[in-house]
Structure 1
Amino acid sequence: MSAAQRVLVVGGTGLIGSTVAAELARRGYDVAVAGRHRPEEGSPAAAFAWVEGDYTRPGWADRLAGVDVIVFAAAQDIRHVGPHASAETWQDVQTASLPAFFAEAREAGVRRAVLVGSYYHQVLPDLVAANAYVRARADAEAGVLALATEDFVVCAVNPPNVVGVAPGRALHAFAKMVRWARGAMADRVPDCAPHGGTNYMSVHAVAAAVAGAVEHGESGRAYLIGDENLSFQGYFQALFDAAGAERTVAVCDDDHAFLPDDFLVAGKGVTLSYEPDATEQELLGYHRGDIADTLRAMVAAVDALPPRA
């Protein structure tokens, strides 16, 4: 790898994108981040050159000139668009926009590209027909990977639920969960979690996998990555433990304030678990087993915030 290789992380102002940017910079790449809004002052993304741009709008040729590698971590999901978005909305922000953007990158001379996608369609293929969001993700990925040529190496990395938080608004939002764990919201949020569960992975492990895909990913491949299978109860209990709360999380049927039914893409009560392929893990070079440590670091970041007025 030449230290002169230029990487543009699209969506680089978000949690995954900014962590990927930091990992690639650590490995010697010349990194810039792209997004619709300038990074928050003091955020990890603010350390990199910033390129303004919206991936859903064409006209990236000048901004992609001289870029060797694209990492795309910007695609919108139900957290941004909402759980009840129309099929037309998903067409706009996923199925049509992503292949069009990657086609522009190929035409601009970008040689390698990694799409950071989502895991649902690989773990539960039946959701492709049943869920418009999952279908859009799967179709967008297929359209992107179909652009692969001898001169344009493109692959996808599909993580599960990502554990981590960036400074700024996201950290203040996570602080509410820490206050809940410590009993400050007992009158509003009970000590319980929904039925079901999923796979969880730290953002730093995701970043390592994406960097591994930049360096070793096979063109046309979609890599399902992951770490620890936990029930939602187990995940919330790990948060309680990280916050020093000596209480036990129960399981309940009610719509949960921090994990509403509408955001359970696989369905209420579904446990979505799997083991990532060991050979692919070795190829991409990512670690496992750091969920508890990541939660403790997140709680410590909350505790370091200035006192609220």
Structure 2
Amino acid sequence: MKILIVGGTGMIGGHAALHLAGRGHAVTLAARRKPAPGTAIDGLPVLIGDYAAGDFATADLSGFDALIFAAGNDIRHLPEGTPAEDHYHEANTVQIPRFFERARDGGIETAIYIGSFYPQAAPHVVDGDPYLMSRKAADERVRALDAPGFRVCSLNAPVMVGAYPGLAVPFFDAYFAYALGLLDPMPVFCPPGASNFMSVRSLAEAMEGAIARGAGGTAYLVGDDDMTYQDYFHLFFETVGSPLRPKVRDEEHPLLPDAAQPAGRGGVIRYEPTPAETALLGYRCGDVRSAVEALYDDYKRRHRMA
């Protein structure tokens, strides 16, 4: 199967590309720039462009059987001086469904949207948050395009853990540096609260399952491990061999600021994905620890650690 992955150089899309290519599919990435040299996805074919700028024409999307859309504009893409609500509405609510329309018109028959878990797992935090509102609206609008000959569903994922070999993800690198004591004098602590976490490998498997068996028009809430932030932080300390266990302190943490917690500091979001849907999509569970260990192996390679 010929599969186009939008956001294909990111930690989610790139891992999905490797997984699907390993399963025998012909994978093409769509991204604003080529993969970094030396990364595991370097050498895969790439369509260069920015979906939010409308760079991809219908003709560019012809010749593919399936689409995985693993992109979206967040605070990293917010132009200076532009109101967040306006930018997120245009980039996510408007341009993502428009891209799906072009994919449909180009002959793509199956499309998978990678969305956010908040609208399904914690809908109370969505209203008033321009970013989450735009992601929710994009999800609803792309699934509304489902029709005979164009099957569309979404996988709404929690906090994601992992990357593909060679990709430096700044916030994961910061967690390992913190656990290794390289960010002194930052005190060792963690904020209160809890969330659901999932590995990029599990999500890649769910993408493959959604392409093969996903029901059109359906929003699948996917996920894996419910963890407190204390347990999540400790996983990094444990992985690097540190005997320290971060203590919970009710204050903002530089590596997990309040702005990155839509549920608020101390907020708890726990859920159990529907077993029937997990089986349908065919993804593994209990994989977050393995994802952190793989991240650390790559961190050591990139930093030339023994």
Shift of 1:172: 5.8
Structure 1 position 12 matched with structure 2 position 8? yes
Contact 2:166–2:302 (CA<8 Å) still a contact in 1?
Answer: no
Find the counterpart in structure 1 of residue 25 from structure 2: 29
Structure 1 position 54 matched with structure 2 position 50? yes
Distance 1:69 1:301, change over 3 A: same
Contiguous gaps of at least 5 residues in structure 2: none
CA distance in 2, matches of 1:90, 1:120: 16
Find the counterpart in structure 2 of residue 289 from structure 1: 286
CA distance in 1, matches of 2:149, 2:4: 18
Pairing partner for 2:257 from 238, 260, 264: 260
Q: Which moved more, 1:288-297 or 1:114-123?
A: 288-297
Shift of 1:168: 4.9
CA distance in 1, matches of 2:187, 2:34: 37
Find the counterpart in structure 2 of residue 43 from structure 1: 39
Find the counterpart in structure 2 of residue 233 from structure 1: 230
Contact 1:172–1:302 (CA<8 Å) still a contact in 2?
Answer: no
Which residues of 2 match residues 51-90 of structure 1 at below 5 A? 51-58=47-54, 59-81=56-78, 86-90=84-88
Contiguous gaps of at least 5 residues in structure 1: none
Q: Which moved more, 1:133-142 or 1:175-184?
A: 175-184
Structure 1 position 181 matched with structure 2 position 179? yes
Shift of 1:178: 1.4
Shift of 1:134: 1.4
Contact 1:121–1:128 (CA<8 Å) still a contact in 2?
Answer: yes
CA distance in 2, matches of 1:143, 1:172: 32
Contact 2:174–2:255 (CA<8 Å) still a contact in 1?
Answer: no
Q: Deviations over 1:152-202 (max 9, x none)?
A: 001000110001134556246533321211222231x21111111100111
Contact 2:11–2:167 (CA<8 Å) still a contact in 1?
Answer: no
State the identity as a percent: 35
Contact 2:2–2:26 (CA<8 Å) still a contact in 1?
Answer: yes
TM-score (norm 2): 0.94
Pairing partner for 1:197 from 194, 197, 206: 194
Shift of 1:112: 0.5
CA RMSD for the aligned pairs? 1.8
